[in-house]
Chain A
Amino acid sequence: MMVLGSFDRWSLAWPLAKKELLGRYRGSVVGLAWAMVTPLLAVAVYALVFQGVFKANWPGAQAGGLGYAARIFAGLAVFTGCAEIAMRATGLMRENASLVKRVVFPLELLGVALVLQSAVHAFLQTVVLALLLLAVGEARWSWLLLPFAWAWVLALQLVLAWLLSALGCYLRDLQHLVPSLITGLMFLSPVFYPVDAAPQMLKALLIFNPLTAPIEFMRAAWFGSAFDWATAWPSLALLLPMLAFARWFFEHARQGFADLV
């Protein structure tokens, strides 16, 4: 069932995202709070292992306390957001088979809705971290850059969502491939260490990771650390062309979705 007609297409994305979020947390006791609890727990574990066991410390941060954990949290929020998009996008069309096959639906909105859900999680995580840092008196003016940092990340997520949801529809292997790629990519992203601290060989690799620049930028916004525009600018400059390509690719591939899901 559906209707063709003049409706503002993008305004549909939010109800869709809301529906997904409501459905996801419906019936659980703390509901949306899981979006904050899960990353906090993860950070507690990482902090315990890296700081407590390996005695690792973040260059430039004072030893002990919240410093290390907060920096991991900032980077990890970006990484897990993108990872989740990547994993869910590969099966997105099959998951919504009825929308693909039986309804006239602007399918590109499924990707947009996915990113909107991620934005809600991002917002909650930002609030959590901001409150933690405020509590220990580490607020800074550079926080004003946070919306830009997130805009960068979300745009990147939209590229991922469109490309992978279209590709995943044709190439089912992606559903198995992407999770293992993500595990590897986590250590090839500057999540547990800043780019500066990486050995030369790893640095060369990090440049090609599109997540490197936004993660670094995010940490620069939170903690006022240095941000190397010289290596990061191609990443930002390519963002719009990549979005345009992802959109084009999705539009051309979508005609075949209905036969495949």
Chain B
Amino acid sequence: MGVLQVQSVNELAIELRGVVKQYSLETRPGRRLWRQVTGRVGQGPVYQALHDIDLEVRRGEVVGVIGRNGAGKSTLLQIVCGVLQPTRGQRTVRGRVAALLELGAGFNPELTGRENVRLNGPLLGLESREVEDRLPSIVEFAGIGEFIDQPVRTYSSGMFVRLAFAMATSVEPDILVIDEALSVGDGAFARKSFERIMELRQRGATILFCSHALFQVEALCPRALWLHEGRVRFDGPVAQAVVEYQAWLDRNEAGVMTSAPTGSRFDTPQAALLGANFGGGGVQAKLRSGRDDLVVQVRLRSDPALPCPTLGVVVHGADGRSIASAGTWMDGVSLVRDAQGGSTVEVRFPGLPLLKGHYTISVYALCERGLNVLSAAEHVLTLEVEQDNLERGVVTLPRAWATRAGTEEAVA
């Protein structure tokens, strides 16, 4: 904050000043209790989860939080929600906060869904009349039908989460804090919940969003915060944050993968990848750099009742890092499918610009916005590239050389 402090302080929905969070590592319970009650937690062994965090989030801003496990992301979100108290520093939050940290935290398994909603309403800041008004829409959104009058312990985990999510977001919060909650339930519900969040964003809710899926953060949040070992390493435009974070990850974690990368493989009721190959060939190929075309053919099936999914292809180096990618939604290509939802897609990279080495290819089916992964087949194809020249590096770049005599600088 420099000389120009344009917005008034009340524009800020979330304000953290010098927030420090220490966890006591004291093992003697009596000593620990004494320190807590006398307010001297800082003395004795502590683990410092957050160092001096300053954060300002304006009303209506959407901020992503990225960082490795253990970087302090959850602690930060919990402090913003008020679940944890900072050891030092100041926390100011203006407006009603809904936290999607642990869905259904207050539910009693013996009671029915309806009773739980009624009894948890006041916890979310709803009057009992407001709860009654919203009950039908909550039940409808959760899509659990007559199960609402069954004890919650009989619910499937999906139903439980759906009811909790429907309830948590029904309060129309000013500030929404989301910790990896976008992947709730099955495909159809993940989509609905995502839309609910977008709706709240449209209405001007401030959102703090934490996810390991960098592409989700990039698509949702104009601004991102990169936490590293309890400190803010970067705070600014999301594109830059993701690039810096990704670069750091590549530098520091690439070496960890020594054996062949094993990726995840899953389908959802919304879409399933049936197969991928090198343009009619097998799942292994040997291509000549700059000469052969790389062709990837994918067959998939999707639910014809839902909008057509999109397809993404990612090329990884031998260390697992992403080198290049292509997505139908980015290139404005729509998939064509038959009445059963089956379709075949082929993508061609002419004159393969990769240099010699081993590569793997991942294939993803995503929602129509390219945000939720509906089906993934990571590292399904393996590619060996041969090269008949001595060029070094990973890719060959198009180029033009120019030369002239003399050493004086060219005048523009």
**In the complex, chain A residues whose CB is within 8 Å of the CB of B315:** none
Q: Tell me the minimal C-beta distance from B347 to chain A in angstroms.
A: 42
Q: Tell me the minimal C-beta distance from B135 to chain A in angstroms.
A: 15
A102 touching B83 in the complex, CB below 8 Å, given contacts A1-B99, A1-B168, A172-B29:
yes
- Is the C-beta of B200 less than 8 angstroms from some C-beta in chain A? no
Contact of B123 among A3, A101, A171 (CB under 8 A): A3
- Is the C-beta of A256 less than 8 angstroms from some C-beta in chain B? yes
- Is the C-beta of A183 less than 8 angstroms from some C-beta in chain B? no
- Provide the bound-state CA to CA distance between A256 and B32, in Å: 9
Interface residues of A in 16-60 (CB under 8 A from B): 16, 18-20, 22-24, 26-27
Chain B residue at minimum C-beta to C-beta distance from A7: B125
Contact of B36 among A12, A26, A256 (CB under 8 A): A256
**In the complex, chain A residues whose CB is within 8 Å of the CB of B36:** 170, 252-253, 255-256
Q: Is the CB of B29 within 8 A of A1?
A: no
Q: Is the CB of B96 within 8 A of A4?
A: yes
Q: Is the CB of B93 within 8 A of A2?
A: no
Q: Is the CB of B125 within 8 A of A18?
A: no
- Is the C-beta of A105 less than 8 angstroms from some C-beta in chain B? yes
Q: Is the CB of A3 within 8 A of B29?
A: no
Chain A residue at minimum C-beta to C-beta distance from B101: A102
How many residues of chain A are within 8 Å of chain B by beta carbon? 36
Q: Is the CB of A252 within 8 A of B173?
A: no
* Number of chain B interface residues as a range: 35 or more
- Is the C-beta of A249 less than 8 angstroms from some C-beta in chain B? yes
- Is the C-beta of A65 less than 8 angstroms from some C-beta in chain B? no
Chain A residue at minimum C-beta to C-beta distance from B82: A104
- Is the C-beta of B366 less than 8 angstroms from some C-beta in chain A? no
- Provide the bound-state CA to CA distance between A22 and B93, in Å: 35
Mask, B62-105, CB within 8 Å of A = 1, is: 00000000000000000001111100000001001111111111
Interface residues of B in 107-138 (CB under 8 A from A): 108-111, 115, 118-119, 122-125
- Is the C-beta of A184 less than 8 angstroms from some C-beta in chain B? no
**In the complex, chain B residues whose CB is within 8 Å of the CB of A258:** 83-84
- Is the C-beta of B159 less than 8 angstroms from some C-beta in chain A? no
**In the complex, chain A residues whose CB is within 8 Å of the CB of B243:** none
- Provide the bound-state CA to CA distance between A167 and B85, in Å: 19
Q: Is the CB of B102 within 8 A of A1?
A: yes
Chain B residue at minimum C-beta to C-beta distance from A257: B36
Q: Is the CB of B29 within 8 A of A171?
A: yes
- Provide the bound-state CA to CA distance between A133 and B151, in Å: 40
Residues on B close to A: CB < 8 A?
A: 23-24, 29-30, 32-33, 36-39, 41, 81-85, 93, 96-106, 108-111, 115, 118-119, 122-125, 151, 164, 167-168, 171, 173
15 A–B contacts from the bound complex (CB under 8 Å): A1-B167, A2-B82, A2-B98, A3-B96, A3-B124, A7-B122, A15-B118, A16-B119, A18-B119, A23-B109, A99-B105, A101-B102, A104-B83, A170-B29, A249-B37
Q: A3-B97, A255-B41 are in contact. List 6 more A-B contacts (CB 8 A).
A: A16-B119, A20-B108, A26-B110, A26-B151, A99-B106, A171-B30
